[in-house]
Amino acid sequence: MTVIGERVPRADGQAKVSGEAVYGVDHEEPGMIWGALLRSPVSSGTITRLDTAPALAMPGVHAVITAADAPDAYAGWVLRDQRLFASDRVRYEGQPIAAVAAETLAQARAAAAAIVLDVEALPAVVDLEQAMTPDSPLVHPDWESYVPAAGPDFPRHGNVAAECIADPPGVDEAFARAYRVITDEFVAQRQYQAYIEPKSAVGIFRGGRYTVHTAHQFPFNVRDRVAQFLDVRPSAVRVVGHTIGGGFGAKLDAGLEPYAALLSRAAGGLPVKLVNTRTEDLLTCPSREGAITRIRSAVAADGTILARELEVIADNGACSGEMPWLAAIALHCARGVYQGGPTRVTARLVYTNTAPTGAFRGVNGTYLYHAVERHMDHIAAELTLDRRDYRLRLLFGDGEELLNGQVLHEAGILRQGFDALEALAPWADLEAGRRPYRGIGIGAAWWLTNPGPGSAVVSLREDGTAAVVTAANDNGSGAVSIGVTQIVAERLGIPPEDVFVTLPDTDIAGYDGGSQGSRTTRAVGKAALIAADEVVEKIKAVAAGLLEAAPDDLEVAEGSVRVKGAPGTRVPIAMVASTALNTVGPLQGTGSFVTPFPDFNPSCASGLLFPSFPTPTYHVHIAEVEVDPVTGTVRVLRYLVAQEVGRVISPDGTYGQVSGAVAQGIGYALHESLRIGEDGRYRERTLESYRLPLAVDIPRVEFVALEHPDPDGPYGAKGVAEGPVLLPAAVIANAVCDAIGRPLNSIPITPEEVLAAIQS
Amino acid sequence: MSDDSQAVSVTINGHLYSGTCEPRLTLADFIRHECGLTGTHLGCEHGVCGACTIIVDGRSTRACLMLAVQADGSEITTVEGLANGAELNPLQEAFWNNHGLQCGFCTPGMLMCATEFLEGNPEPTADEVRECISGNLCRCTGYASIVASVLSAAEELRR
């Protein structure tokens, strides 16, 4: 009997449907007081007056802190270009300038509002192209003094925060002999992660250390960031995780945590809680960056891509966060999943006076695949080729070598994806079903599973249940509450409901790379499996004495240790665990795991901070849409996904990730946009104007799981969650353009854009 | 507490809660902080996300858009009132069994919204369920599993 691939109830389900679950925003501590931040009202300016005395005189106030009270330190995930508080210059709307701790939240907010702040506004750097011109103001005049958080410095200059350039030989020659040169420019907007639980944190300064309670995707990253900001060593910070109300990448870097920690210190060690209002959350969230992508392809008459140039200019916002690492993703996605000649890639990340951008599910890939797949449709149209046939002709196969020298050994899976969707929705039938204002789109992608390290300790308890200690967290996906739980249950031969996994605590568990890049089920599942393997060996060693059999002749299954071939000769593992207390000591195993980066050619590009994509997965999507020519609205009629997953551990978890990612992709394609005014301020301020997809907007996704078990993954698992967000913008845009017979190269495709295109 | 604080008395999940509060305190904050019932979640505090949906005198209501003083004398059901002790009700069971939740932050609001809906429409179609929950935001699931959960609960409740 196996639980792998079976439907099992999620371990946190009871708590979540009953209202018992305690989320980060619900957490309270004895004696806790409340904090509030004073944030910059403008996106660029000089602080000319900052007087906290009125706030200190307000009722209930315990502490008011500003840059003068914070260590003179710079922090940052990749580049240390952030201060805790703005001191002289403000660089984006919402940037913290001061923080208050008071008895009640209302008192804290009133006191923050009483601080006297004068800011002399300066012109905001907003336009990405202008930001790169020599006469543009610099967002960080001191950029040269900044240092990376670790490792050597990387290419950056002025407002260019990071740069990745690949310039292989032969590109210009190929363009010179091209039958046709196809050129496109694509514009993608900012997208807000819009998790429903706003960010919060409770900080406590006690015994010379900082403890932070937070609902976070990456507790060890919070530990490191708080340590940088507060200028202490990482072990002086303890991060305790709580149930998390969604993150999608936005809760990977520290948010309110360092402020809560320092406020507690200033308030004499009282626990201080900070909670974002939704507007604060929206304005300061590290949203998915807006980007301009330009592609030129030199093509032969038969559609062969002789060479390509791809240029990406991405909006870093005012500080770097994780972003410099990600610039190289343009190199990995520049050809999509289609063969082509030498490809010149230029990716630049540009500082602007806007909120810092950051990780959002499918980092960089969403707009890169939108660009590449729209461009493929453009080439096919120019050469009057069938869009699907054209893709199949150039599709990557097994052993494909990429621009960075990485080899995709199993890229032939892509063809299986096209075949799987063909069986579900034959392209010819979809074409035959076309009529005015109804269109279809198709696209394909490859993606990574984040390789970050993870660890777990598995203990067999004396009642035959198991405890798993890990700093991995379940961001909602079920990766821990279903996936890791199932994997340990399977290995120990006990029911999933007998496996108990801790919430993260950086004082208790070993390092974990965070819930990002689809890694948890695979990486933490693998670490937990290694730990469980060790427990199984110990169980057998102890049981061997009880059963008077050799350990190698034993198997652990169904809650017992039994002699192979003689299942009647058995002893319950609970008894083994109890016996072990008096013989070998408690039964416990430890596991650690990290995926190595695949081999690559280091000289293929400059600025190659993310050099290759480990544990590739493959994706094919089709969308069918209908456009209302009167209102311009787009309705997604059908959405199909074929996806390589390694092996399905949880069918519910797998489908849930695909469905949820597609919904976010549909929002990105059609609805969601953080528009930025000329003053650098967001036009969207609340969820009222930031238009998230609703239940009526999202069709039921038709999904085919392709299974090619990964020998390095636990029971064959690869990452699942990110890939399906990569293609909705691409295939929906292709479908809308098909429906109206005109190109639309900006997202989101709003009704206004559709009507303008129809009427043009 | 300032001088203009007012007495509020509400019955929540069968228990009487009496206290005083500022006239501007929202019902959501009253339920969460004064009554300690944190299952009612606040996602936006401006009436868009629906996570704080509760039932006030038989009608679904956004607890962030109502003042506590307005609820004086009301009968309120929150997510904590759905289960019978440790026994989940069929709608809760259906959300758990059908993977109708991921992070679970929208779940209390979805459950309360669907509770009222199923009382008025015990035999809904999938489209009607979609319509019903379209005032509540979920960022995780893509809604399909929530629709399936509500349909499954409707079927169970008809038995």
The answer to whether residues B76 and B116 touch, using CB atoms and an 8 Å cutoff, is no
User: Where would I find the H helices in A164-303?
Assistant: 171-176, 219-230, 257-266, 278-284
Q: Are residues A380 and A479 in the same domain?
A: no
Contact A18 B41 (CB under 8 A): no
Average pLDDT over residues A487-501: 98
- Of the partner residues A478, A688, A698, the one whose CB lies closest to the CB of residue B143: A698
H helical segments located in A493-572:
525-547
| pLDDT score of A434 more than 90 | no
Query: φ and ψ at A555, to 5 degrees?
Result: -135, 150
**Closest to A476 (Cβ–Cβ): which among B43, B97, B140?**
B140
CB A717 within 8 A of CB A710: yes
- Give the residue among B61, B103, B39 at the shortest CA–CA distance from A242: B103
Q: Return the amino acid letter for A726.
A: L
A117 and A240 assigned to the same domain: yes
Dist. CA A391–CA A563, nearest whole Å: 55
Q: Span A436-447, mean pLDDT? A: 97
Report the pLDDT value the prediction gives residue B1, as an integer from 0 to 100.
Answer: 46
The last residue of one of the domains, among A217, A244, A275, is A275
Which residues lie across from B18 on neighbouring strands?
B9
The residues near A120 (Cβ < 8 Å, ≥ 6 apart) are A45, A46, A48
- Is the minimum CB–CB distance between B11 and chain A shorter than 8 Å? no
Q: Is residue A584 part of a domain?
A: yes
Cis peptide before A234 (omega within 30 of 0): no
| Residues A360, A326 within the same domain | yes
Burial of A655 (0-12, 13-18, 19+ CB in 10 A): buried
User: pLDDT per residue over A642-672, tens digit each?
Assistant: 999 999 999 999 999 999 999 999 999 999 9
Closest by CA position to A274, among listed A195, A201, A324, A196: A201
The distance of A17 to chain B (nearest Cα, Å) reads: 6
Determine the Cα–Cα distance for residues A36 and A274; give it in Å rounded to an integer. 6
3-state secondary structure B81-106: HCCECCECCHHHHHHHHCCCCCCCCC
What's the mean pLDDT when you consider all of chain A?
97
Report how far residue A658's alpha carbon sits from residue A667's, in angstroms, rounded to the nearest whole number.
14
**Structural domain contains residue A9:** no
Whether residues A197 and B105 touch (CB distance < 8 A) is answered with yes
Hey, which residues does B131 pair with through a beta bridge? none
- Residue A354: predicted pLDDT: 98
Query: Do B128 and B81 form a contact (C-beta atoms < 8 A)?
Result: no
A463 shares a domain with A439: no
Residue A261 belongs to a domain with what CATH number? Answer: 3.90.1170.50
Domains of chain B, start order = 6-81 (3.10.20.30), 90-158 (1.10.150.120)
Task: Indicate whether A14 belongs to any domain.
Answer: no
In whole angstroms, how far apart are CA A607 and each of A308, A359, B142? 20, 19, 37
**Residues A519, A559 within the same domain:** yes
What CATH code is carried by the domain that includes residue A489?
Answer: 3.30.365.10
Range A601-629 burial, b when 16+ CB lie within 10 A, else e: eeebbebbbbbbbbbbbbbbbbbbbbbee
Tokens 């892509």, residue? A414
| Separation between Cα atoms, residue A490 and residue A532, nearest integer Å | 9
Q: Where do runs of H (alpha helix) occur along A591-714? A: 651-666
Of A12, A19, A695, the CB nearest to B147: A695
Partners of A278 on chain B (C-beta within 8 Å) are 43-46
Q: Can you give the pLDDT at residue A1?
A: 76
Pick from A17, A18, A658 the residue to mutate for testing the B interface (most B CBs within 10 Å). Answer: A17
Q: Does A663 touch chain B (CB under 8 A)?
A: yes
Q: Cβ–Cβ of A196/B96 closer than 8 Å?
A: no
Nearest chain A residue (CA) to B97:
A9
Residues A373 and A248 in one domain: no
- CB contact A490 to B (< 8 Å): no
Residue B100 has phi, psi (to 5 degrees) of -80, 10
Asked if residue A472 belongs to a domain, the reply is yes
User: In chain B, positions 31-70, which contact chain A (CB-CB < 8 Å)?
Assistant: 32, 37-46, 48-49, 51
Note whether A236 and A93 are same-domain residues: yes
CA dihedral B30→B34→B35→B37, nearest 10 degrees, is: 70
**What CA dihedral angle connects A545, A546, A548 and A550, to 10 degrees?**
-60
Helices (H), chain B: 27-29, 90-97, 107-120, 126-133, 144-158
User: Do residues A317 and A255 both lie within one domain?
Assistant: no
The conformation of residue A700, written as its DSSP 8-state character, comes to P
Average pLDDT over every residue of A330-352: 98
Rg (CA), chain A: 27
Q: Which residue has the tokens 């200019």?
A: A313
Residue ranges with strand state E in A21-95 = 33-39, 45-51, 61-66, 89-90
How many independent structural domains does chain A possess?
Answer: 3
* Among A593, A615, A643, residue at a domain's last position: A593
A577 and A560 together in one domain: yes
> Is residue A176 in a domain?
no
**Which residues of chain B make contact with A15, given a CB cutoff of 8 A?**
104
In this predicted model, what pLDDT tens digit does every residue of A684-711 receive, in sequence order? 999 999 999 999 999 999 999 999 999 9
Res A60 pLDDT > 70: yes
Q: Which domain holds residue A493?
A: 452-593
Picking from A574, A593, A612, the residue at the C-terminal end of a domain is A593
Question: What's the complex ipTM?
Answer: 0.98
Per-residue pLDDT of chain B (159 residues; tens, 9 = 90+): 456 899 999 999 999 999 999 999 999 999 999 999 999 999 999 999 999 999 999 999 999 999 999 999 999 999 999 999 999 999 999 999 999 999 999 999 999 999 999 999 999 999 999 999 999 999 999 999 999 999 999 999 999
Nearest to A476 among B82, B102, B145 (CB): B102
**Cβ B149 vs Cβ B100: under 8 Å:** yes
Same domain assignment for residues A578 and A667? no
Amino acid at the residue A38: L
Domain membership of residue A340 (yes or no) is: yes
CA–CA separation, A519 and A721 (whole Å): 9
**Residue A92 covered by a domain:** yes
Q: Around Cβ A350, how many Cβ atoms within 10 Å?
A: 27
Q: Same domain for A404 and A547?
A: no
| Residue A184: Cβ within 10 Å count | 18
Is the pLDDT score of A217 beyond 70? yes
Q: What angle do CA A11, A12, A14 make, to 5 degrees?
A: 100
Identify whether A178 is part of a domain: no
CA distance A242 to A223: 15
Write down the pLDDT at residue A162: 98
Tens digit of pLDDT for each residue in A574-611?
A: 999 999 999 999 999 999 999 999 999 999 999 999 99
Cis peptide bond N-terminal to A748, omega within 30: yes
Q: At what angle do helices A751-759 and A728-740 cross, to 10 degrees?
A: 30
Task: Return the DSSP state at A503.
Answer: P
- A433 pLDDT band, cuts 50/70/90, is confident
Same structural domain, A115 and A224 = yes
Cβ–Cβ contacts within 10 Å for residue A470, how many?
A: 27
